[in-house]
Amino acid sequence: MNRVAARGFVWLGVLLLGLAGCTSSGMAPVDNRSPAHRAAKSENARPGTPQITPSTNGLHTVQSGETLYAIAFANGLDYRDIAIWNQLESADRILVGQVLRLTPPAGAVEIKPLDDEPAPNARPLTDAPLLREPQAQLLVYSEANWAQVSEARSPTPAVAAPAPAVPAAVSPAPASVASSASTADDGWQWPVDGTLIGRFGGAGGKGIDIAGARNTPVRAVSAGKVVYSGSGLRGYGRLLIIKHAGEFLSAYAHNEAILVKEGDMVTAGQKIALMGDSDADRVKLHLEIRRYGKPLDPLSYLPERP
């Protein structure tokens, strides 16, 4: 074999080894999934959020990633009560390892919001006001005063006193307007368009369930501040909690991805998450509305659909 042929065999061997290497390693696959799906997968790759379970002894030890709002949410309490019971300077500041009491201290007085008390009703007066005159008057002696006193003592024909005016009937105070009517002016709106598959107190539990397609945008029902974003509440999946005016909280569960972070201020209708099935048996949004820690029927606050 001549030198030229030998050199050709060497290059042929190098080429075959290169092809073998490509075959064994394979080409890098092209990731054609949506950014939201990749973000969700990346989130799943991170260590899980510590689970917040309802307390059985009236105490809770703060773990990393928890907020006072989420702790109160998990225990069905008002975050303001927990802040008062533990003498917290701010509801936005709790420390990892801090032990919070979830029951009022001895001697604590329960304070109810004023708007929970029934409005007083006005009642019409049934008796005419009683007018009184002085019984005696000291006058300086004079002929004129003596004549006045003498005239007052003389009998006069009785005159029928006018009948007391009957006060006009006062219509009773109007009953309080239903929540759905009063909140329509406050900017409440539906978070997604979908089929209602669970109502408050029924299949929806403490809120309502709305079915839809994966990655459907979830929007804030009203303006507010994001106070929790995570997956630390069992049964809610990726959960988002927003605080609104009037001490309302809205919670959005089972998201595929969350698009805002804690501390963000959001506007009514702003896109905050994508619908998914995290910790759920199907793609759906579970919506809860709470006030002073108590779950309320969201259908009483959302506008009626046409």
pLDDT tier at 51, thresholds 50, 70, 90: confident
Within the chain, strands assigned E span: 59-61, 99-101, 195-198, 208-211, 217-219, 224-230, 238-244, 248-258, 265-266, 271-275, 284-291, 294-296
The average pLDDT across 12-39 equals 47
Q: Distance between CA 289 and CA 77 in Å, rounded?
A: 13
- Which residues belong to CATH 2.70.70.10 in the chain? 188-300
When comparing pLDDT for 4 and 74, which is higher? Answer: 74
Give counts: helices (H), strands (E), the chain.
6, 12
pLDDT of residue 262: 95
Question: 59-101 falls under which CATH superfamily?
Answer: LysM domain (3.10.350.10)
Q: How many residues does the chain have?
A: 306
Q: Distance between CA 222 and CA 209 in Å, rounded?
A: 18
DSSP one-letter code for 122: P
When comparing pLDDT for 136 and 95, which is higher? Answer: 95
The average pLDDT across 38-59 equals 64
CB atoms closer than 10 angstroms to residue 295: 18
Q: Considering only CA atoms, which of 264, 218, 209, 266 is closest in space to residue 236?
A: 209
- Which residues belong to CATH 3.10.350.10 in the chain? 59-101
Answer yes or no: are the C-beta atoms of 216 and 195 closer than 8 Å. no
Alpha-helical regions (H) of 102-238: 143-153, 179-183
| Span 249-286, pLDDT tens digits | 999 999 999 999 999 999 999 999 999 999 999 999 99
User: CATH number of the domain at 188-300, out of 3.20.20.70, 3.40.50.300, 1.10.1060.10, 2.70.70.10?
Assistant: 2.70.70.10
| Span 102-157, pLDDT tens digits | 999 887 666 555 555 454 454 554 555 555 555 566 666 677 776 776 676 655 55
